[in-house]
Chain A
Amino acid sequence: MKIIILGAGQVGTSMAEILSREDNDITLVDIDSEKLAGLQDRLDIRTVHGAGSHPSVLEQAGGPDADLVLAVTNQDEVNMASCQIAHSLFHTPKKIARIRSGEYLSHPEIFVDDAIPIDVIISPEHIVTQHIRNLIQYPNALQVVSFAKDRIQLVGVRANQGSPLIGRQLKALREDLPDIDSRVAAIYRQNRAILPRGDTVIESGDEVFFLAARQHIHSVMSELCRVERPGRRIMLTGAGNIGLRLASALEQSNYTVKIIERDAKRAKQVSGQLDRSVVLHGDGADEELMNQENIDTVDVFCSLTNDDEANILSAMLAKRLGAHRTMALVNRSAYVDLLENSLVDIAISPRVATVGTILTHVRKGDMVAVHSLRRGAAEAIEVIAHGDPESSKVVGRSIEDIQFPEGTMVGAILRGDEVIIAHGSTVIEPEDHVILFVIDKSRLREVEQLFQVAVTFI
């Protein structure tokens, strides 16, 4: 696929990195030529220096042949203009743009072909907010992603000592919870993936990913670890876009929210936009302020400023002062690996969260959702099986008969409105949404091919 990425920021760079390793022709456009030079050394991509919305730059970047334009510069207006121009000049088939401002987002009717032609709008703030909300809701989860319009969730938890399933085989899960259907998709033991089977024994410290219907998540989780009640007292630092969105979402669900903002002006502005949350003006790493605001009773502490180091330090400080669970927003992937499970409970990478959403639209086959897991090493996808037994390699076959590449696990199926947890004998029907867990991302291409309908199918 020929893809033009506009903007070599966090998201643009990660997308270039991931997509260029997957056999795509990537052209990256940015106004900072030094940034581009560094990337060209590292990645097999072409770079073009210039403003992404200028027709001559788009042309130079291969606009006429491009299959996809991904506008992720840091300005909404540039992103919109670029998509408009790519559409008018080159009829680019697919245009994805990042739009941050809520002003634009609240009017989806402007993003149509005869106004501003953008096929998919991504809003990283929204995605990250959703991500953090899920994590707050399930206090033990390392990662929570949703499929099938939120009906099915995939949750990663760390199995810990004293929970019912430790030292027992996986099939015991079924004996303990006879009425609940769930499926363990993967187990990571000391960072190595194990394909789960009925006789796999769960050890303490294992990272277990399982799929279940949303209402059953708590019950399954309680088998794997001591489930804590979701904390109601939340403290946030950084009232930027993410902080504000999260705070307003949380206060609506009856959480007690305190939010610390360093900039007095911004703090004032935010306090006007929030109803019940307490907006505090001060430094996110101010011990005094934290103590005054009873940091030791806080259930979840989230540092969400745009400064990685500040986030890490304030989360560490909060942990030492007694916050129950800490999360930090961390952009640099090197830091994420360094931190998790030691200094900070969960490092949230906006990059990984956003990239998954974009991947949904880049992948072949009819993808509904793609989620990057374990910092991009594995992926969980929701894909629609089209065709009939003649034209498709999956439709009309039972799961155990389908030639899935190694390390691929079918977790669940959404048929109409019915959630079916997959078993070997489950037969896939046309238009089923199949939810798969792919441990080894390099095999993803084979999975895509499996779900592509033969050419004769119209």
Chain B
Amino acid sequence: MFSPAVLRILGVLLTMFSTTLIPPFMIAWMGRDSGTAAFGLAFLGTITAGAALWFSCRNQKRELRVRDGFLIVVLFWVVLAVFGTAPFLLSPFPELDLVDALFESMSGLTTTGATVLSGLDQLPPSILYYRQQLQWLGGMGIIVLAVAVMPMLGIGGMQLYRAETPGPMKDSKLTPRITETAKALWYIYLGLTVTCALAYWLGGMSIFDAVGHAFSTVAIGGFSTHDQSLGFYDSPAILIIAIAFMLISAVNFALHFTVFKTRSIKAYLADTEVRVFLGFVLVVSAISVLTLMASETYASVTDTLVHGIFQVVSIGTTTGFTTSGFHWWPSFLPIMLIIMSAVGGCAGSTSGGMKVIRLVLLYKQGKREISQLIHPSALITVKLGDKPVPDHVINAVWGFFALYILSYVGLSIAVTATGVELVTAFSAVTACLNNLGPGLGQVAENYASLGSASKLVLTAAMLLGRLEIFTLLVLLTPAFWRS
């Protein structure tokens, strides 16, 4: 099954990834910080490994099959997370063991934003930048990037693209050719990032912080260069910028593409998913703000509004930025927010969670069943906008939902079994499976206090969540490995 053709592509991808270690190396080298040697070595190691794999299988060019797509994507995410640990391990600061480094690296790539680090403000800038960059690369999808820049992935590109892109309907392409589609997605992504960085910079951040936070905002990641996250700046303007860009990034990028092409925002307004998503965020914000006001958690009304909405958007889009933490918010708010992250953003965006569209479809399917009970001989079609949704899509959504719940329960029991108390265990699994980041209880600030076994389970949960369960679980079935 590990055919040479698969290994060859893996080699190509790894070689490509190695070049992303150059920017942090430059930062380390120019700032003469302690990460110089680490990034230099990590770069050489990764490029050597990648090139060796590529070279040894260079003549293996066969078309990718559907199965290869799954295998390559999963293998690459795992291999990348493993190689991504190198700078953490090689650099003198922070001092991390292998499990911690893997957790941090996977958390970065999957845009979870859960961290085992504290004392961020004292770390070398190169390491801080590297963490932000990991999130940015993982946000739109490293495979999608590879398809965009490497025409050699051409035809097989579609198999890879599908195994990585989130959402229930993966067949829609923006342009006839997959390379062009991937490029368009990355241009939009890049454009958003640059705009976001500029906005942050104008809002008062240093250039370094602005770029770093733009990376993790647009990727819906949640890593920050400060322990206090965005609360560090104590600036409503920055929080408002963050709210705007988190919301934009949680919308389907295909819609951004359409809007950009037609130069009218009609596409947003006409899209059911976006409307439901925004409505949902609005309702939860209102509930939170009112509860916060009633309990007088914040001193002023402005603070309540800004912090309330910011926190709801940050959790609702699965970003996971915090200002002062939401775990000490009164009453039901913490648990409501953490459950809200399971909904996530829109399909085809950089956000995590189950995606709004799936819940919309589940709801509509539920409604259909009820109508069916009332009118037993009626033929009822589930529609999205004004288009009927094929039954196989709805079935896939049901399957996804079942597996999601199953994974959630299974992982929670596994984490609890490693000796973690219940609230921490369940919230940590929710936060990792939905690529959110911060949890409740012991993991409200960071994940350093958990044991290695718990961290490994959570690392797996992050990957499972990022690849939307199916892609990873496919590999775990015996049928996949039978020839």
Binding site for B on A (CB under 8 A): 2, 20, 25-27, 33, 37, 40-41, 43-47, 62
In the bound complex, CA of A20 to CA of B179 (Å): 12
Contacts of A46 in B (CB 8 A): 173, 175-177
Contacts of B179 in A (CB 8 A): 44
- Nearest A residue to B171 via CB reads A40
- Nearest A residue to B174 via CB reads A46
Q: Are B158 and A25 in contact (CB under 8 A)?
A: no
Cβ < 8 Å to A, chain B residues 75-128: none
- Nearest A residue to B387 via CB reads A49
Contacts of A37 in B (CB 8 A): 171
**Closest approach, in angstroms, between the C-beta of A69 and any C-beta of chain B?**
14
Contacts of B152 in A (CB 8 A): none
Q: Are A44 and B178 in contact (CB under 8 A)?
A: yes
**Closest approach, in angstroms, between the C-beta of A63 and any C-beta of chain B?**
13
**CB < 8 Å: which of A27, A33, A44, A45 contacts B390?**
A33
In the bound complex, CA of A20 to CA of B390 (Å): 27
Contact status of A41 and B66, CB under 8 A, knowing A25-B175, A25-B177, A26-B176: yes
Q: Are B157 and A44 in contact (CB under 8 A)?
A: yes
Cβ < 8 Å to A, chain B residues 144-160: 154-155, 157-159
- Nearest A residue to B151 via CB reads A23
A-B contact pairs, 22 of them (CB 8 A): A2-B176, A20-B176, A20-B177, A25-B176, A25-B177, A25-B180, A26-B176, A27-B176, A37-B171, A40-B171, A40-B173, A41-B66, A43-B155, A44-B154, A44-B155, A44-B157, A44-B158, A44-B178, A46-B175, A46-B176, A46-B177, A47-B171
Given A25-B180, A40-B158, A41-B158: 11 more A-B contacts, CB < 8 Å = A40-B171, A40-B173, A41-B159, A43-B155, A44-B157, A44-B176, A44-B179, A45-B177, A46-B173, A46-B176, A46-B177
In the bound complex, CA of A26 to CA of B176 (Å): 6
**Closest approach, in angstroms, between the C-beta of A226 and any C-beta of chain B?**
43
Which of A41, A43, A47, A62: most chain B CB closer than 10 A?
A41
In the bound complex, CA of A43 to CA of B176 (Å): 10
Contacts of B178 in A (CB 8 A): 44
Binding site for A on B (CB under 8 A): 66, 154-155, 157-159, 171, 173, 175-180, 390
In the bound complex, CA of A26 to CA of B180 (Å): 12
**Closest approach, in angstroms, between the C-beta of A54 and any C-beta of chain B?**
14
- Nearest A residue to B178 via CB reads A44
**CB < 8 Å: which of B155, B158, B176 contacts A62?**
B176
In the bound complex, CA of A40 to CA of B171 (Å): 8
- Nearest B residue to A47 via CB reads B171
Contacts of A2 in B (CB 8 A): 176
Main secondary structure of the interface of A (DSSP, over half): mixed
Contacts of B159 in A (CB 8 A): 41
In the bound complex, CA of A33 to CA of B171 (Å): 12
Contacts of A45 in B (CB 8 A): 176-177
In the bound complex, CA of A76 to CA of B175 (Å): 28
**Closest approach, in angstroms, between the C-beta of B288 and any C-beta of chain A?**
40
Contacts of B66 in A (CB 8 A): 41
**Closest approach, in angstroms, between the C-beta of B382 and any C-beta of chain A?**
16
- Nearest B residue to A23 via CB reads B177
- Please name the 5 residue pairs, one residue from A and one from B, whose CB atoms are nearest each other, closest first: A46-B176, A25-B176, A46-B173, A44-B155, A27-B176
In the bound complex, CA of A430 to CA of B66 (Å): 51
In the bound complex, CA of A37 to CA of B172 (Å): 10
Contacts of B173 in A (CB 8 A): 40, 46
Contacts of A26 in B (CB 8 A): 176
- Nearest B residue to A3 via CB reads B176
- Nearest A residue to B154 via CB reads A44
- Nearest A residue to B181 via CB reads A46
**Closest approach, in angstroms, between the C-beta of A62 and any C-beta of chain B?**
7
**Closest approach, in angstroms, between the C-beta of B22 and any C-beta of chain A?**
31
In the bound complex, CA of A44 to CA of B161 (Å): 12
Contacts of A62 in B (CB 8 A): 176
Contacts of B157 in A (CB 8 A): 44
- Nearest B residue to A21 via CB reads B155
Contacts of A41 in B (CB 8 A): 66, 158-159
Contacts of A44 in B (CB 8 A): 154-155, 157-158, 176-179
Contacts of A20 in B (CB 8 A): 176-177
Contacts of A27 in B (CB 8 A): 176
- Nearest A residue to B156 via CB reads A44
**Closest approach, in angstroms, between the C-beta of B234 and any C-beta of chain A?**
49
Which of A33, A41, A46: most chain B CB closer than 10 A?
A46
- Nearest A residue to B179 via CB reads A44
Contacts of A43 in B (CB 8 A): 155
In the bound complex, CA of A2 to CA of B175 (Å): 10
Which of B66, B171, B176: most chain A CB closer than 10 A?
B176
Contacts of B180 in A (CB 8 A): 25
- Nearest A residue to B180 via CB reads A25
In the bound complex, CA of A46 to CA of B179 (Å): 12
- Nearest A residue to B173 via CB reads A46
- Nearest B residue to A28 via CB reads B176
In the bound complex, CA of A41 to CA of B390 (Å): 18
Contacts of A33 in B (CB 8 A): 390
- Nearest A residue to B162 via CB reads A41
**Closest approach, in angstroms, between the C-beta of B471 and any C-beta of chain A?**
16
In the bound complex, CA of A175 to CA of B157 (Å): 55
In the bound complex, CA of A37 to CA of B390 (Å): 12
In the bound complex, CA of A295 to CA of B225 (Å): 88
- Nearest B residue to A24 via CB reads B176
In the bound complex, CA of A41 to CA of B155 (Å): 9
In the bound complex, CA of A12 to CA of B230 (Å): 55
**Closest approach, in angstroms, between the C-beta of A442 and any C-beta of chain B?**
13
**Closest approach, in angstroms, between the C-beta of B384 and any C-beta of chain A?**
14
Contacts of B154 in A (CB 8 A): 44
**Closest approach, in angstroms, between the C-beta of A124 and any C-beta of chain B?**
25
In the bound complex, CA of A26 to CA of B171 (Å): 15
**Closest approach, in angstroms, between the C-beta of B64 and any C-beta of chain A?**
11
**Closest approach, in angstroms, between the C-beta of A60 and any C-beta of chain B?**
11
- Nearest B residue to A62 via CB reads B176
Contacts of B177 in A (CB 8 A): 20, 25, 44-46
Contacts of B390 in A (CB 8 A): 33
**Closest approach, in angstroms, between the C-beta of B329 and any C-beta of chain A?**
46
**Closest approach, in angstroms, between the C-beta of A90 and any C-beta of chain B?**
15
In the bound complex, CA of A45 to CA of B173 (Å): 9
Contacts of B155 in A (CB 8 A): 43-44
Contacts of A40 in B (CB 8 A): 158, 171, 173
In the bound complex, CA of A33 to CA of B177 (Å): 19
